[in-house]
Structure formats: C-alpha cells, structure tokens
Amino acid sequence: MSANIYKENDILVFKKNHPCGGNSWKVLRVGVDYKLECTTCKRIIIIPRFDLNKMVKKTKEWFLCFKLRIML
C-alpha cells in the first residue's frame, strides 16, 4: 500500500463524480480520517485514509487553483 499523504487545502480529484456533478474535493482536516469538502456543492464528508487512497485520481494544490480562478 502506498502512503499518499495529503495536506490541508489540497484539492483532490476523484475517479468518480459526486452526485452534484463535481469530482474535486478540498482537504479540510488530516488524521486517521480525512475531512473533505466538495468544491461544487460544499458538502462535507469524512473518509478513512485507506479508502481515500483508492478513490483519488490526481492532486492539485489549492494555491494553484486559486491563482487560476483569479486569472479567469
């Protein structure tokens, strides 16, 4: 099992879409579980670390996304 460690305010892109249509989540809290917030509908979920590693497709750091939003 690879140990992916995500930091707070990282943006994670999941393999499957959320029912609201978005597939990106912001990391709010790190620990044994991860607390995530959907960037589209602002729903908050808590996922165990083991399950999260299976669900993540790629990672974007928050400050890069923030800069892109300002530019657009």
What tens digit of pLDDT does each residue of 8-41 get?
Answer: 888 888 888 888 888 889 999 998 899 999 999 9
pLDDT for res 45 = 94
Assess if residue 5 is contained within a domain: no
Assess if residue 1 is contained within a domain: no
Assess if residue 27 is contained within a domain: yes
- Boundaries of domain holding 15: 10-71
Assess if residue 2 is contained within a domain: no
Assess if residue 3 is contained within a domain: no
- Which pLDDT band holds residue 70 (cuts at 50, 70, 90)? low
Assess if residue 4 is contained within a domain: no
What pTM value is reported for the model? 0.73
For every residue of the chain, which 3-state class applies, written as one string? Answer: CCCCCCCCCEEEEECCCCCCCCCEEEEEECCCEEEEEECCCCCEEEEEHHHHHHHEEEEEEHHHHHHHHHHC
Domains of the chain: total? 1
pLDDT reading at 48 higher than 80: yes
